[in-house]
A and B are shown apart, each in its own frame.
Chain A
Amino acid sequence: MDKPLAERRCERLILPEPGKKPGAEAREGWLEMQIVVDLTRCQGYAQCVFLAPEVFELHGEEALLYNPAVPDDQLDRVRQAAAACPVQAILLGEEVSAGAR
């Protein structure tokens, strides 16, 4: 649990999740972090859309759609978006690793 992040990520690289569907190539690499947006709080200010347009998009005038699996090359942008969100609705973190018994 208190191993450095990089080491834990390596474990995941060696042990991909069983039953992973071929359609999920977007997740290739297994290095990405996950996000969830608290859309009860989100007010559609769209700062995140400007800062990380590959991850966040507005659908219509103010409905926010986003990709919860953040590609590695988007991580910095998503960090900025999370920091800039005026209502602090974006949570970035690791998923629960399924190594549990």
Chain B
Amino acid sequence: MPDDLREGRIVIVGASLAGLRAAETLREEGFTGSLTVIGDEPHPPYDRPPLSKQVLLGRMAADAAALPMRRDPDAEWRLGVRATGLDPVGKQVLLADGESVTYDRLLIATGTRARPWPNADEAALDGVFTLRTRDDAGRLTERLAAGPRRVLVIGGGFTGSEIASACRERGIEVTLAERGPGPLVGALGGTLSMLAAGMQRAHGVDLRCGVTVTALRGNGRFTGADLSDGSHIDADVCVVAMGAVRNTEWLAEAGLAAGPRGVACDAGCRAFNMYGIVTDDVFVAGDAARFPHPLFEYQMLSLEHWGNAVTQAEVAAHNMVSPEPARRPHLAVPVFWSSQFGLNIKSVGVPTFSDQVVIAQGSLDERRLVAVYGYRGRITAAVTVNMAKWLEYYQGLIETAAPFPPGPGAADGRPLVAAFPIPSNVPDPKGLFHGPTVALTGYLPDRRLTVVRPAD
């Protein structure tokens, strides 16, 4: 039996980071059967993080970010064709061109897309953009190069903040509107949001928090937007950066536990069906997955993290070709990075899974620090700003559930800067224009998803 798993037909839906790394791993693990990768974008797999950084800064072309292969996975690439449905009984993926592909085992790696502006007519105005694909980035960069008078960014999450940063670096006036109390607050809580807001203002961003954008204006061409405080912003480019939506609609009839927060799976990346029963031959990895994590009380996490897409794809691929006793759990601690306004921000663990935060090294004034997050007396996350070398140390503390706050001089022999932990102030994402990029999505594997947040 084990030998059989190295043969047969494997289909991967989603030809991006998770899809490519899974395909390579399958071959590394000795899979000799047929491998098909289906992707709706017409391009071979490319890397997204540079799109809001080097590309918007004009330092590289939007089409230059192809991902290198670790090895040629010897796959049939079916690019530019969307999977429209899944027949789990006939074991077929249905394609938009009317064809279908039969599988023995399937990997879902369809990731996310940019959440569109809710009013379709306003979203269709010339000059209104979202940023998820290299084509999006190409169009937006062209517009930035044309020298707009002002760019309006809606949403102060990582992507929105990076876009604002790139605009300022190019000398373009930018207004950033965020419904919540500050930028990055949904991901990092109140303290680091203060730092982020300070950086934005110091770099000349016209930052408007606690306001909603009520309407985008323009006659064919975007000319500005109305805000809920009665003000109006004149701008000729608008970037809607309101977070991501999971690409799970194509699974609506598949009977899987798939919904707007992702496809629920077990610790071994096997998808649950809608009754909460784990499937035998359907696996999930990357931004599309929702998976339980023991460090965070087995709550289901939905991540939008580059590193998670890679490690989860590797675990899923290993498990797809391994008999049950040889299967591995996906236990990696979430790690994320962002660069904006000259700062390198890295996070490990789940900052939103916290009730308190303490600045363990550095300070807000120096713009160099490590913030450590705790939940009920243990360390659950750390964020470094321009102190990335410390990340690994704190990762160790998270993995061993070390007590919070960390002991004085835990890391470098220096005393804790803020001796007193303060509330981490992570607001309810419902009141924000941006998502947390690590979302706690409750315990239930079925479609009725509830958001469970640490209460106190």
Partner-B contacts on A (CB < 8 A): 1, 17, 20-21, 23-24, 26-27, 33-36, 38-44, 59-69, 91-98, 100-101
Contacts and interface: CB of A to CB of B under 8 A. Distances in A.
What secondary structure prevails in chain B residues at the interface with A? mixed
B59 A65 contact: yes
Nearest to A97: B44
A60 B342 contact: yes
Given A36-B68, A67-B59, 11 more contacts: A17-B63, A20-B63, A27-B63, A44-B388, A59-B342, A61-B344, A62-B344, A65-B57, A94-B68, A96-B67, A101-B76
Nearest to A92: B68
29 contacts: A21-B61, A21-B63, A27-B63, A38-B307, A40-B335, A40-B336, A41-B307, A42-B388, A43-B391, A44-B388, A60-B339, A61-B386, A62-B388, A63-B342, A65-B339, A68-B64, A68-B65, A68-B66, A69-B65, A91-B68, A94-B69, A95-B67, A96-B20, A98-B43, A100-B75, A100-B76, A100-B77, A100-B78, A100-B79
A24 to B, nearest CB: 4
Interface of B: 20, 43-45, 47, 49-50, 53-54, 57, 59-70, 72, 74-79, 138, 142, 305-307, 310, 335-337, 339, 341-344, 346, 368, 386, 388-389, 391-392
A69 B74 contact: no
A60 B388 CA distance: 13
Given A24-B63, A44-B344, A36 B72 contact: no
Nearest to B20: A96
B168 to A, nearest CB: 13
Given A34-B66, A35-B68, A68-B60, A96 B389 contact: no
Contacts of A36: 47, 67-68
A24 B66 CA distance: 13
A100 B63 CA distance: 18
Contacts of B75: 100
Residue of A35, A60, A91 ringed by the most chain B CB atoms within 10 A: A60
A44 B65 CA distance: 21
Contact of B72 (A1, A61, A101): A1
A44 B339 contact: no
Contacts of B67: 34, 36, 95-96
A98 B307 contact: no
A19 B110 CA distance: 25
Nearest to A68: B65
B389 A60 contact: no
A24 B58 CA distance: 11
A33 B68 contact: yes
Contacts of B45: 95-96
A40 B310 CA distance: 11
B68 A66 contact: no
B77 A59 contact: no
Contacts of B79: 98, 100
A95 B78 CA distance: 15
